[in-house]
Amino acid sequence: MRLRTKLGALMAVAAVFGTGGGCREPISHESPQTVSPALASLIGAAATADPIFVVVQYDEAVTTGDALAAGIMGLGGGARALRQLPFVGALATPAQVNAIAVLPGVARVSENRQLTWLGMSSPASVLALLDQSVPTIKADQARAVYGVSGRGIGVAILDSGIDGLYQYDVQYPSRTVQNLKVIANGRDLVCFQNLPCPGSIYVENLANSETSVGHGTHVAGIAGGNGSMSNGLYTGVAPGSNLIGIGTGDVLFIFWALAGFDYILQNQDRYNIKVVNNSWGTSGPFDPQDPVSIASKRVHDRGITVVFAAGNDGPGENTLNPYSVAPWVIGVAATCSATDFTAQRLHCQPGGMLADFSSRGIPGDALYHPTVAAPGVHIISTRASTGTVLNALDANHDLDLTSTCELRILFAPYYTCASGTSMATPHVTGVVALMQERAGGQLNPDQVRSLLVRTADPMAGYAVFEVGAGLVNALEAVKGSR
């Protein structure tokens, strides 16, 4: 079962924040055109005056975030402007939302919808330990031949958090150089008129920013874990890189993702951030005006490579995570182990390499396809001590793996298995860090993308709409980086 499906069952989170007042408010007029259709439906059906958290996009040529936030507070709502992106988070009643929508400079008001982690768990019938998946993409050869490990390169992990306290592979502050959480409660995040305003929306310098999911810690270990808890056996792709953990909470909503991107832009020079991993997404068509797409474009334009998971909704066509479709990002499909396909294997067909769950694009479409592919089936990587959700989901097949010595029993307390394009994505993120070290950090995102495409290994029997250019080849990509 997909991790996101079980997470939904385990952690139901409401997007509506109650005031406790119980006041009634008639909603009898249509919302302005700047209110997204989904939000208009939501507030049109509202029966109370309870506030909802919305995302307000504005035209930077007309107004500023601070001015718009002040205008929203003047209407009685709560507001918080981001520093680098043209968005304000607002806590407002339905009537206030409609009033916000006609303030000067407002371009769009949209719902703060929930996003999903793109990892899944499954029985242990397909195995791709880091000591197998890293050689599959030739990252070990790239490190040996060119002497790179990602040294000095900042790798942002925008996810559920990183356990840098228990998990020494991604230890804070030696491996994870900054570890933070975005304030999870919308009411604590916004400011109200004539009331003291909360301080920073980020809680920094946490040894462990992983609350209960474990997803971000697993992803971080793939991208940049140094394997210290396994005597180097389960070393990630770029073990010398500097990880920056940005924890958005157990359940991810759009504004929290935007706040994560905003932090990256605020601190890109401080941590030399060159790439950001996004093992999360949504469904539906690609919309360049979606708040997340606007943010990823801004991050790209500031010189940071944005890597997104392609999604776990395959094998049907036109199932891609829309955030991975944007031409300015790198979308990653998931492959099986490159070694033995003769045995009966879940998620992989004999003689094939592409995972059945990996989302596909549209045949012949110039936009709807992954960029490259990377190992994403049953990856053994770092376990979070507080990752109770992932640990519980994976307990049965972790036991199976230890009984067959695939996951060595002495290492089982520190590593766990997961599958999904969530796990494929940090393989590519780590390769980007290796490339940037060799290039002295001088590659722009378009050059990185072009190199990855040009050097990928074609996957026989698969089309571009399924795997993009093919399996990422770290050795050739690093070679071409200088």
| 30 and 135 housed in the same domain | no
| 193 and 78 housed in the same domain | no
Question: Which of residues 86, 111, 136 is at a domain's end?
Answer: 111
Q: Is residue 3 part of a domain?
A: no
CA distances from 200 to 65, 180, 183, 188, 233 (A): 16, 11, 9, 10, 39
At residue 5, the pLDDT reads 35
Q: Is residue 404 part of a domain?
A: yes
Strands of the sheet containing 415-418, edge to edge, are 128-129, 379-382, 415-418
| 357 and 268 housed in the same domain | yes
| 346 and 327 housed in the same domain | yes
Two structure tokens written together for 431 = 């390769």
| 96 and 122 housed in the same domain | no
Q: Is residue 351 part of a domain?
A: yes
Whether omega for the bond prior to residue 315 falls within 30 degrees of 0, making it cis, is yes
| 50 and 85 housed in the same domain | yes
At residue 31, the pLDDT reads 85
Strand partners, 177: none
| Token pair 């059945």: residue | 356
Two structure tokens written together for 34 = 């700047």
| 104 and 128 housed in the same domain | no
- Spatial distance between the Cα atoms of 179 and 253, rounded to a whole number of angstroms: 19
CA distances from 306 to 4, 9, 48, 186, 348 (A): 22, 30, 40, 26, 28
CATH code of the domain covering residue 259: 3.40.50.200
| 79 and 139 housed in the same domain | no
As for how many domains the chain has, the answer is: 2
pLDDT digits (tens, 9 = 90+) for 421-455: 999 999 999 999 999 999 999 999 999 999 999 99
- Spatial distance between the Cα atoms of 308 and 292, rounded to a whole number of angstroms: 11
Strands of the sheet containing 202-203, edge to edge, are 202-203, 176-182, 242-247, 154-159, 273-278, 305-309, 330-335, 372-375
- Spatial distance between the Cα atoms of 85 and 106, rounded to a whole number of angstroms: 14
Record the pTM.
0.90
CATH code of the domain covering residue 102: 3.30.70.80
Amino acid at 228: S
At residue 412, the pLDDT reads 81
At residue 337, the pLDDT reads 67
Which of these, 112, 96, 110, lies nearest to 53 by C-alpha position?
112
Q: Is residue 2 part of a domain?
A: no
Are 113 and 103 a contacting pair, CB within 8 Å? no
- Spatial distance between the Cα atoms of 169 and 119, rounded to a whole number of angstroms: 20
End-to-end CA distance of the chain: 43
The DSSP secondary structure of 32-92, one letter per residue, reads PTTB-HHHHHHHHT--S---EEEEEEE-TTT--HHHHHHHHHHTT-EEEE-SSSSEEEEEE
At residue 314, the pLDDT reads 95
Full domain range(s) for residue 69: 23-111
| 377 and 263 housed in the same domain | yes
Task: Count other C-beta atoms under 10 Å from residue 38's C-beta.
Answer: 10
The DSSP secondary structure of 442-477, one letter per residue, reads ---HHHHHHHHHHHPBP-TT--HHHHTT-B--HHHH
Amino acid at 223: A
Q: Is residue 170 part of a domain?
A: yes
Question: Which of residues 60, 83, 111 is at a domain's end?
Answer: 111
At residue 352, the pLDDT reads 67
Q: Is residue 453 part of a domain?
A: yes
Strand partners, 244: 156, 178
CA 182, 183, 186, 191 torsion-angle sign = negative
Q: Where are the beta strands (DSSP E) in 383-452?
A: 415-418
Are 201 and 89 a contacting pair, CB within 8 Å? no
| 184 and 95 housed in the same domain | no
pLDDT digits (tens, 9 = 90+) for 382-429: 999 985 545 544 444 444 444 333 555 778 889 988 889 999 999 999
Question: Which of residues 96, 111, 126 is at a domain's end?
Answer: 111
| 85 and 138 housed in the same domain | no
| 266 and 335 housed in the same domain | yes
Q: What is the DSSP letter of 169?
A: G
Task: Count other C-beta atoms under 10 Å from residue 41's C-beta.
Answer: 13
| Token pair 């339905």: residue | 94
Which of these, 306, 310, 325, lies nearest to 260 by C-alpha position?
306
Which of these, 82, 90, 96, 78, lies nearest to 196 by C-alpha position?
78
Ranges of residues in the chain with a pLDDT under 70 are 1-29, 46-47, 120-129, 337-347, 349-352, 387-408
- Spatial distance between the Cα atoms of 424 and 338, rounded to a whole number of angstroms: 13
At residue 49, the pLDDT reads 81
Q: Is residue 13 part of a domain?
A: no
What are the percentages of helix, strand and coil residues in the chain, rounded to 5?
Answer: 35, 20, 50
At residue 395, the pLDDT reads 47
